[in-house]
Structure 1
Amino acid sequence: MAHIHLEDVSISYPIFNSHSRSLRTAVFSKLGGKIVSHNRTLVVEAIKGLSLHLEDGDRIALLGHNGAGKTTLLRALAGVYPPQSGQIEISGRISSFTDITLGMDMEASGWENIVFRCAFMGLSFAEAKALAPSIAEFSELGEFLDMPVRTYSAGMFVRLAFAISTSIDPDIVIMDEMISAGDAQFVEKARQRIEKILGNASIFVIASHDVAITRQFCTKALWLEKGKQRALGPVAEVTEAYLASRVAGS
């Protein structure tokens, strides 16, 4: 069975030789968390002492203002950021939509990028080549797949990345906002595929500012504030508390 177990996890970013006030402000606005100083080195404490247990059937929304640590947590779950302390144990195949274009080569063709991206997702080259025809069909890019992706429009590029990223059946889905996929004609097709993936997945984790989406797809919510857990519980209760705090702080 799929599961995600975090025990007292902390993740920080050292920013070397950076002690000016303007840079402190810039770093904080982009990375969030808490900033401390060690020997003229800034350290952004993006996640601090977080424990979280998710089991089969859990659908959890990550709530919090920009810089609260949501994206850092998603990337940690995807294996991009290792924790400085604590432990992360994950069982199950993961599909991460935090950056669906990661691993793609702008100079390579669409066909080549299908193989590259699938390999980046953990598939063998044989598995990638076997999936390539169905990915190509879903992307609807036709002869453009023979061309370098740098020649694609933004919509075509996202369409290819989406077709590749959603070509496997994951146990765990990680998403930073509900993704769209290019032009309007493709959106409905993409929405149906996302709903199918979510329906089959064991665990779903999403960071979103859209309360309607979190209430539709999630059963739990984790409210993060400066990298720490502020609240964890049923999505309706935590969302209500989070929204109330935003109103009170405005």
Structure 2
Amino acid sequence: MVSIDVWNASVEFPIFDAKTRSLKKAVLGKAGGKIGTDQKVPVIEALRDINLSIQHGDRIGLVGHNGAGKSTLLRLLSGIYEPTRGRSRIIGRVAPVFDLGVGMDPEISGYENIMIRGLFLGMSRREMLKRVDDIAEFSELGNYLSMPLRTYSTGMRVRLALGVVTSIDPEILLLDEGIGAVDAAFLEKARDRLNDLVKRSGLLVFASHSDEFLMELCNTVIWMDHGQIKMQGGLREVLTAYKGRDPFENLPQAVLERIGEGR
């Protein structure tokens, strides 16, 4: 059964200035010096004392201002970052979707990028070959799929990447925001595929500024603030505390019915 557990984890990044960045100075120091001087390197504590237990079936949203630690937490949960203090354990195959454009090459065709992006997300070449026609139909890019990616607009690139991302079968889906560059009509079309993707995943952690997407895809929320978990709980409760207002209050009835008002 897939799961992610984190115990008292912190993540720190050293900040090197022009003086400490010099390898020669760091190693040799003064004449007769040695590695490991008394020189202190300042660090940024990006995450502090994180405790989480995420189990199969969980659908967790991440909220917080820019720089609050959402993306760093996703990278910790994916295993990309190791905790500098504390520990973490990941059971299951991770599909980290932090940037829809990661793993795509501007000099090769859309078709070739479908394969590369799929491999980057942990799928096999055979699995991606089965999905090419479906991705092509969804993206609506037609003959552009035979052209280099550098000829695409930003919206076209997002369409292609979103088509690939929503075709995979992840055990652990870690999804960062970045799907807002496409037009509203296409984004509406992508909703069903995103929902199906989430249903196929064993667990989801989704960082977003979009209340509507959080309401639709998640059932609990973590509020990150200055690298710490400030609040964790039900969707409505946490979003109301974070926003300072009830985000469900002015939603159209059709939206409330789609997301389930009681969540």
For the aligned pair, the TM-score class normalised by the smaller chain equals: 0.7 to 0.9
Report the residue type matching 1:199 in the other structure: K
CA offsets, 1:143-172, max 9 Å, x none?
211111001111111111111111112233
TM-score, with length taken from structure 2? 0.76
Structure 1 residues 72-91: aligned runs within 5 Å: 72-91=72-91
TM-score, with length taken from structure 1? 0.80
Report the residue type matching 1:77 in the other structure: L
- Say if 1:166 and 1:48 are closer, same or farther in 2 by CA, change over 3 A: same
Report the residue type matching 1:102 in the other structure: V
Whole-Å separation in 1 of the counterparts to 2:218 and 2:186? 25
Q: How far is the alpha carbon of 1:74 from its aligned partner? A: 1.3
Structure 1 residues 34-73: aligned runs within 5 Å: 39=39, 41-73=41-73
For the aligned residue pairs, the C-alpha RMSD in angstroms reads 2.5
Judge which range, 206-215 or 56-65, deviates more: 206-215
Q: How far is the alpha carbon of 1:40 from its aligned partner? A: 5.5
CA offsets, 1:100-137, max 9 Å, x none?
11111111111111111111111223333333232222
Whole-Å separation in 2 of the counterparts to 1:240 and 1:133? 42
SS in 1 for 2:82: coil
Whole-Å separation in 1 of the counterparts to 2:187 and 2:210? 18
Q: How far is the alpha carbon of 1:177 from its aligned partner? A: 3.2
Q: Which sections of structure 2, spanning at least 5 residues, go unmatched?
A: 20-37, 246-263
CA offsets, 1:189-233, max 9 Å, x none?
211111122233332212223344434433222222211222222
Identity %: 44
Residue in structure 2 matched with residue 127 of structure 1 by the alignment: 127
Alignment partner of 1:202 is 2:202: yes
Report the residue type matching 1:242 in the other structure: Y
Between structures 1 and 2, the one with greater strand share: 1
Structure 1 residues 169-180: aligned runs within 5 Å: 169-177=169-177, 179-180=179-180
- Say if 1:141 and 1:239 are closer, same or farther in 2 by CA, change over 3 A: closer
Q: How many residues align?
A: 227
Q: Highest CA radius of gyration, 1 or 2? A: 2
Structure 1 residues 137-152: aligned runs within 5 Å: 137-152=137-152
Q: Which sections of structure 1, spanning at least 5 residues, go unmatched?
A: 20-37, 246-250
Indicate conservation of the 8 Å contact 1:180/1:190, yes or no.
no
Q: How far is the alpha carbon of 1:244 from its aligned partner? A: 4.2
Residue in structure 2 matched with residue 17 of structure 1 by the alignment: 17
CA offsets, 1:67-103, max 9 Å, x none?
1111111122233323223322222333333211111
Q: How far is the alpha carbon of 1:178 from its aligned partner? A: 7.0
Alignment partner of 1:232 is 2:257: no
